[in-house]
Structure formats: C-alpha cells, structure tokens
Amino acid sequence: MRAVVVESSGQVSVQLRPDPVLPGAGGAIVKVESTAICGSDLHFLEGHYPIVDPVSLGHEAVGTVVETGSAVTGFKTGDRVLVSSVAGCGQCTGCATHDPIRCVQGPQIFGSGVLGGAQAELLAVPAADFQLLSVPEGISTEQALLLTDNLATGWAAAKRADIPIGGSVAIVGLGSVGMCALRSALTLGAARVFAVDPVESRRIRAAKWGAVGIAPPAVQAIREATGGLGVDAVIDAVGTDAAINDSIEAVRTGGTVSIVGVHDLQPYPLPALACLIRSLSIRLTTAPVQQTWPELIPLLQEGRMDVDGIFTDTLPLEQAAEGYAAAMSRSGDHLKIRLAL
C-alpha cells in the first residue's frame, strides 16, 4: 500500500509499505478514502520528537471497512466509518467513560510510531467497536474528518475552559484546532472572543466568524479591552512556552487557562507562585474523542455549529510532501489540508 512517511531528516515522502494485518479478533482494516494533515504531525518534521525509524504519519481518517475480526459486533465490511485519532482497549473502566486517554492499558495515537498512520491506503484499527463510528447521516466528509480529532480537541478545550455564558475568552493560535475552539466557544455561549495569531489573514478569517483579531504580543491589548482584568478564559492552541506565558498573563484572576497546543519534550517553567496567588486553573487536555461525538454530531447536523472554511486545500495522497510544505508555512491560505485517496 501507499503511505506517507517522515524520515529522521524531516523529509516527507509517499512510500510503498506492507499492507497491515488484522489487529486481533476485535480489530478491523479500513480502506482510507480521506485523511488530513494535523498541526501535531508537524512536530515530527520540526525535530521536536525523536524518530528512530521512518514514521508512518497521520491520525485522521474516514474510509470503508474492508475486513473485521471475529469479535467485532458493531461493524461489517462495506460500512463507511470515521476513526478516533486516539485509541484505547475498549474494554477497561477508563474506556467505559468513552475517553481513550483514560484507558488503563495506556492510550495510543495513530501515526505516532506505534499504531500505523492514517495517511495511507489501509489502516489497521484495534478494538474497532470502540474506535470506529459509522459516518452519521448529514455529516460531510470534511466534518467527519474534523470529528476524528481537531473539532473534538477544540470542543474539549472550550468546555474545559469554563467560559461563562456571556463571558470572554482568548484563543491563542488560529490553526485548525484554534479555529475549531473559536467555533466551540461561540457555540458554548462566549460573548467576546479575542483571536490571537501573528498571521493577519488568519485573524481576518477569525474576525469573519465573530472574533476580535489581535496580533501578538496580545496581553496588553486584551487587558485594555477588558478594563485591565483580563479575559475569563484562555484557550492555548499553540503550546509553546511563550504562548503558555501569554495565556497565563491574559487571563483574569480566578480564570482558567485551557491548553491543547502540543508542547515539545522540554520542561515548562511554570510560574507556580503567581498562579497560586491568582487562583488560576490550568488544564491540559488530549481530547476524549469518543466522548465528544454525542454532543458535536447533533450540533453539526442541525447547523448549530459551523465548521465550513476550516479545510482550505485538498490534494491527492501522492502530493503529501507538497501538502506538508504548505502546512509548515502556517499561512492563512493553508489552514487545514485534506489528502484524498
């Protein structure tokens, strides 16, 4: 099969790899029809994570089931499905909460060097009854792809930010997760949303969706706009030291900083005393993907949440290297890139 891989040098290419084998009686093989490049994939290219062998990339996939194990009860060959980006065993008390991160055996992420990557013609899915979801009626391919990761992450970030209805929130970083967090914050009742990003075209895009665009450094502008207090909540969709520092400074005393940006492997020097004195809540979240589906799908089906415009590019799988180059540019023109098979 064809699969997108990254070498230790950071070079991306499409290579021929062995077809995956069925991952046990509870597993399934999915023929991928559509996948996408995520901002967290870029960490492999930027050298933030060590690569020993070439890594098969990607954790967002929509496709068709082509094989199931004998223990799979909820799916059959021919079913069109979306795949949770985070995998759990599906059997433990943690997975019973529908949050694979709580899996007592330890969660795994597709395309991280352990499970195969979703940017491939075929994807082996363990515990298929837990990981898969039949694409619901009225849900487009692009919406389904966002449900595998980015929208689930943005939604979880906004919920864990404890934004009061009618309150204020700052979104730091306007990539696809940040934009999904922006849409989620508005859906959850935020009245004022400040959208922070160095790229002007991304700020303009956010402004069209109801936010106030601010170029970094943004702390002073946010405090001036909130009477010196700061916002009720900040969602950090970047995860660098600088972004976390700004988020802590921009939130008001007693507020919440919700971090979903992926940090590198270096320790972060938390200003613990200042956070304690200001009674801040700081939450770091990997999305409980399956847990978000019952909430998000009806909102999408009824048009209560708009995610149009998140995807800006569609390329064939063979042009994955071109797609990664566009994603690495972090321009407003290339917000979210879909790879079609």
Give the pLDDT of residue 75: 98
**How do the pLDDT tens digits run along the chain, 341 residues long?**
999 999 988 999 999 999 999 999 999 999 999 999 999 999 999 888 888 789 999 999 999 999 999 999 999 999 999 999 999 999 999 999 999 999 999 999 999 888 999 999 999 999 999 999 999 999 999 999 999 999 999 999 999 999 999 999 999 999 999 999 999 999 999 999 999 999 999 999 999 999 999 999 999 999 999 999 999 999 999 999 999 999 999 999 999 999 999 998 999 999 999 999 999 999 999 999 999 999 999 999 999 999 999 999 999 999 999 999 999 999 889 999 999 99
Query: Which 8-state DSSP code applies to residue 100?
Result: G
Q: Which two tokens stand for residue 24?
A: 């046990």
Instruction: Catalogue all structural domains in the chain, each as residue range(s) with its CATH number.
Output: 2-149+288-340 (3.90.180.10), 154-284 (3.40.50.720)
Round to whole Å and give the CA distance between 81 and 51: 30
Which burial class, exposed, middle or buried, applies to 192 when counting CB atoms under 10 A from its CB (0-12, 13-18, 19+)? Answer: middle
State phi, psi for 285 to the nearest 5 degrees.
Answer: -135, 130
Round to whole Å and give the CA distance between 62 and 205: 26
Pairing assessment for the beta strands 86-87 and 55-56 based on DSSP bridges: unpaired
Handedness of CA 155, 160, 164, 170 (dihedral sign): negative
Give the pLDDT of residue 260: 98
Q: What's this model's pTM, rounded to 2 decimal places? A: 0.97
Round to whole Å and give the CA distance between 127 and 104: 14
CA distances from 69 to 1, 27, 39, 255 (A): 20, 5, 32, 48
